[in-house]
Amino acid sequence: MTRTALIFGVCGQDGSYLARFLLERGYAVHGTTRDLAGASYSTLDALGIRERVTIHAVAPQDAAAVERVIGAVSPREIYHLAAQSSVGLSFAQPAAAFGSILTSTLNILEAIRQQAPSARLFHASSSEMFGDTSAVPATEDAPPRPSSPYAVAKAAAHGLIATYRQAYGLHAGSGILYSHESPLRPERFVTRKIIRGAVAVARGEAERLELGNLSVARDWGWAPEYVDAMWRMLQQDAADDYILATGITTTLEEFVRLAFAHFDLDWRDHVVQTEAHCRPTDVACSRGNPAKARERLGWSTRIAMPELVTRLIQVELEGGHPGVPPLT
């Protein structure tokens, strides 16, 4: 029998890779986007799968619309990836961050509790909720110490998922996602910005690249690998929370150095640090221990730093995603 999955936020980086992953495994894949006419399908187009996904117009902050789509699709697996994903933007638009992250999560949980209690739910939590973890890599039990509107909302949504699991017995779990990158990332995120910037300088199309704080350190992985973990979580008999990370943390300065060094360039000749690109507060260092995911899900990453930089540059130089038309 064909298995059916519903992905809230199918047009994002993770939604698109997950849709491809599930299609490859024979799933009927449904996905939501807020506005069919206004939606950008560039990620689904880049992977060549737009025609194979049934897309529904749903604003996840609209409880009735969430109930309707879950009732209509009747999915066994639900993936909640629909929320504002930019930490930086959440400082400028905190209310929007809260609505998109927290209200959407509550609506999906309530719809499942009321009318699809046997459905399984994956929720995208974030390492940002732990704050600075330079002293000890976070485990799933680490206390939340959020330091941005985005992280506060994610910590609350994470708590809701655990509460519904415990109080109502739902099969609902959070993947605590560390940064995971790909050519589908927009330039709002620093990795794509750096890769594009280094390529532009190497080609003589730009002279400099403006960035913010380079002393921060992050655990960067390869996004297509993370959707496998999301799926594995929903194949477990019991739902739980898992840290999804490579376990390798690198400074942003080192990322920049590697990107420019790929073209025999010294980043210090081209990168300018400006206040305008710094956040009011920023997580200094993000470290996570993915042991539980390795032991219980059999999941670990194959691609990590520094290979990630080379891979992103190669795709950028080829003009898009491997094997599919270039991204515009």
- Chain residues binding ligand F7E by CB under 6 A are 85, 87-88, 126-128, 177-179, 188-191, 193, 211-213, 216, 218, 252, 277, 279, 282
Active site residue 178: no
Q: State which H helix or E strand residue 91 sits in.
A: helix 87-92
Residue 312 Cβ vs ligand F7E, minimum distance, rounded to whole Å: 12
CA dihedral sign, ordered 301, 245, 109, 168: positive
Indicate which residue of 128, 181, 225, 316 is catalytic: 128
- Active-site residue 150, yes or no? yes
177 CB contacts (<8 Å, ≥6 apart)?
124, 125, 126, 127, 226, 244, 245
Minimum distance from CB of 28 to ligand F7E (Å)? Answer: 28
> Which helix or strand (DSSP H or E) is residue 112 part of?
helix 104-115
Please report how close the Cβ of residue 62 comes to ligand F7E at its closest, in angstroms: 22
Of 41 and 189, the one with the shorter C-beta distance to ligand F7E is: 189
Query: Is 36 strand, coil or helix?
Result: coil
Instruction: Please tell me which residue in 85, 100, 126, 127 is annotated as part of the active site.
Output: 126
Cα separation, 172 vs 112, in Å, equals 10
Catalytic: 42? no
Catalytic, out of 17, 27, 150, 178: 150
Cα–Cα dist 176/123, whole Å: 9
**Smaller CB separation from ligand F7E, 177 or 184:** 177
Amino acid at 258: L
CB nearer ligand F7E, residue 68 or residue 273:
273
User: Rounded to whole angstroms, how far apart are CA atoms 45 and 30?
Assistant: 16
Dihedral sign (CA 239, 7, 191, 210): negative
Nearer of residues 36 and 272 to ligand F7E, judged by Cβ: 272
Q: What H or E segment, with its residue span, contains residue 5?
A: strand 4-8
Shortest distance, position 102 Cβ to ligand F7E, whole Å: 14
Nearer to ligand F7E, 4 or 43 (CB): 43
239: tokens are 């739902």
CA distance 312 to 222: 9
Query: Nearest distance from residue 19's CB to ligand F7E, in Å?
Result: 18
Q: How far is the CB of 282 from ligand F7E (least distance, A)?
A: 5
Q: Please state whether the peptide bond connecting residue 280 to the residue before it is cis, i.e. omega within 30 degrees of 0.
A: no
Note whether 263 and 314 are within 8 A (CB). Answer: no
Q: In this structure, what token pair is assigned to residue 125?
A: 């939590």
Tokens 């025999």 -> residue:
264
Nearest CB to ligand F7E, comparing residues 178 and 299: 178
Residue positions annotated with a catalytic role: 126, 128, 150
